[in-house]
Amino acid sequence: MANKHILIVPGDGIGQEVTAVGKLVLDKIAEKFDHHFTYDTALIGHAAIEATGNPLPDESLEKMQQSDAVLFGAVGHPKYDNDPSAKVRPEQGLLKMRKELGLYANLRPIKLFDELLSASSIKPEILKGADILFFRELTGDIYFGEKGRTNNGDTAFDHAVYSRFEVERIGRKAFEAARTRRKKLCSVDKANVLETSRLWREEIQKLALEYPDVEVEHQFVDSTAMMLIKDPTRFDVVVTANLFGDILTDEASQIAGSMGMLASASIGDGTGVYEPIHGSAHDITGKGVANPLASILSVALLLDISFGMKTESELVISAVDKVLKQGFRTRDIADANTATANVLGTAAMGDAVLKFI
Ligand code: NAD
């Protein structure tokens, strides 16, 4: 029995619809395992701008800092997508949240449920068994270094900067995770060319001495991009810098077939934030067809990582697996073989998962 306080931050668009289902899953887990979960909600994104003029009001940030975990939806609204010059924007709320909460590690598990083998654009025989956990560094690198223009604006630069402690803290999390999995860690860099990558490799090599039970390989980012498509099952845990991770995790998301299936965790030393990788999906907002499985799988990550509830987390994942095995699909993952009666809306898909929990 554990007491935990969870902040639900739905944000915009289908974020509202999928986090509502995620909360029902949390309720069900609390009931089944005799935990006591309390909840609050907070505004972010367009919803927060409309209510307060600020994409991340101080009150929301304080609630995040005071909670044990955050279940996040998505931010975004067509109004801003069509107006790049808008000064106040929903995604500013997201970036500020990551910075203020010190979320330096982004975890993205890429696991293909067997039933969805045909939903990916990669051949099933190559994909079968793929199960990768990415650790992308989230608060350093070329995104946060000095940037600017010289030469009357005709030359531009972005400085990539890493310090040892930044590599060490995410490296340690990746090694720890590898220990609980197949004990393989692939550290991705470009150490043949970049100084930041040489520092990265030195630090990972140093950490490897502390984890002799974990098999470590160092791979260049270009060959990793190729191997992810050619032979995804060779990877277990992958750790990499912000820019490389940004690109490789989007590439790897295609292994799982659909945006509606992928969850992520952003963690640091304080409150962790758990969210689907998809956005607010204006095209399907309010239609009740959004796939809630990424939000449900985000709940599984939350239970495991922030609360150390491994059994509860595995139960949620196996309930999703069973629902898929029964042939139930939301519209985005249905194919020609799916019976019409098995194509479920957001709420019905949530109910199906709850039944198996
Ligand atoms: P998106 O992820 O919202 O949608 C891309 C496509 O995938 C759409 O066709 C959508 O219908 C579909 N899709 C996404 N999630 C789905 C789900 N759960 N079930 C079924 N189908 C799903 O990306 P986009 O269209 O490029 O962006 C829409 C808005 O979301 C923009 O304002 C963008 O800035 C924002 N966005 C936010 C985040 C975030 O909050 N982390 C991430 C990406 C995009």
259 C-alpha to ligand 1 centroid (Å): 8
Report the residue among 259, 261, 330 best suited for mutation to probe ligand 1: largest number of ligand atoms under 8 A from its CB.
259
Q: What is the pLDDT of residues 227-272, one digit of tens each?
A: 999 999 999 999 999 999 989 988 888 887 777 888 999 999 899 9
Residue 119 has pLDDT above 80, yes or no: no
Q: Determine the average pLDDT of the residues in 103-112.
A: 92
pLDDT of the residue at 253: 81
Residue pLDDT, tens place only, 197-222: 999 999 999 999 999 999 999 999 99
Cβ–ligand 1 contact at 283 (below 6 Å) = yes
Domains and CATH numbers, the chain: 1-108+260-357 (3.40.718.10), 121-255 (3.40.718.10)
Which one is catalytic: 68, 131, 158, 246? 246
Mean pLDDT of 47-67: 97
Catalytic residue among 96, 99, 143, 158: 143
| CB contact at 8 A, 316 and 23 | no
Model-level pTM greater than 0.85? yes
Q: Measure Cα distances from 190 to 209, 227, 262, 269, 312 in Å.
A: 22, 15, 27, 28, 39
Q: Is the minimum distance from the CB of 74 to ligand 1 under 6 angstroms?
A: yes
Q: Which of 123, 45, 127, 49 is nearest to 90 (CA)?
A: 45
Ligand 1 lined by 334 (C-beta under 6 Å): no
Q: Does 342 score more than 90 pLDDT?
A: yes
- Asked about 143 being catalytic, the answer comes back as yes
Whether 1 shows a pLDDT value over 90: the answer reads no
Helix 346-356 / helix 293-305 crossing angle, nearest 10 deg: 40
Question: Is residue 321 within 8 Å of 315, Cβ to Cβ?
Answer: no
In this prediction, residues 169-198 reach a mean pLDDT of 97
Instruction: Return mean pLDDT, the chain.
Output: 94
Q: Residue 118 pLDDT more than 80?
A: no
Ligand 1 neighbourhood includes 75 CB (under 6 angstroms): yes
272 CB near ligand 1 (under 6 Å):
no
Q: Which atom of ligand 1 is nearest to the CA of 74?
A: 40
Span 9-33, pLDDT tens digits:
999 999 999 999 999 999 999 999 9
Report pLDDT for 310.
95
